[in-house]
Amino acid sequence: MDVNRIYESVVYLYLTAAKRLFVNPQFPLLVDGREFVPDFVALDPMEKRVWLVEVSWAKSGDKILKKCRDYARHEAQIREQLGAGCPPDWKIGLWLFLKSETAAAVSSKTFSLGDMTPRVETLEKAVAVWEWSQVKPAAEEPHRLIAEPV
């Protein structure tokens, strides 16, 4: 089995552990005749946000940054493709799960994604099931995952 598929499975469990996100894997979005397929589309009704979730074990962040720029460039069409799943008052964000060194490199780069707020998590954190119960929301970060151990 491909390493990325294993990590996608773990991230799926991570995203659904708190039972507050509606998560759809491999949701195809047709934009300008091209198909974009985020690893997951996660709806967060509490935050009124749709997350386009990408999982990558790559050592370089170049491909994921290009993908993020493509998503940001086509935000209006993506919103249209999501239809009722993304009401007009909801925001669209990018949630990236990357190796820790890649996450650090991506987070340190300044790149403009318009209104699509990027959130970067490490795969190592998502894999550490024994630490999920320690993830608590901070007052300044109400969108943080609140998870219970599986």
Residue 85: inside a domain, yes or no?
yes
The CATH number assigned to the domain holding 7 equals 3.40.91.50
Non-local CB neighbours of 44 within 8 Å, separated by 6+ positions: 20, 21, 50, 51, 143
Tokens of 18: 């708190």
Strands, sheet with 40-44, edge to edge from the N-terminal-most edge strand: 22-25, 40-44, 49-56, 91-98, 117-122
Backbone torsion region of residue 19, taken as left when φ is above 0, otherwise alpha when ψ lies between -120 and 50, otherwise beta? left
Position 150 in a domain? no
Residue 10 within a domain = yes
- 144 inside domain: no
* 142 located within any domain: no
What range defines the domain where residue 85 resides? 3-134
Asked, for residue 145, whether it belongs to a domain, the answer is: no
Contact by Cβ (8 Å): 43, 92: no
Instruction: Report if pTM > 0.75.
Output: yes
Number of structural domains (the chain) is 1
pLDDT tens readout for residues 66-112: 999 899 999 999 999 998 888 999 999 999 999 988 888 888 775 66
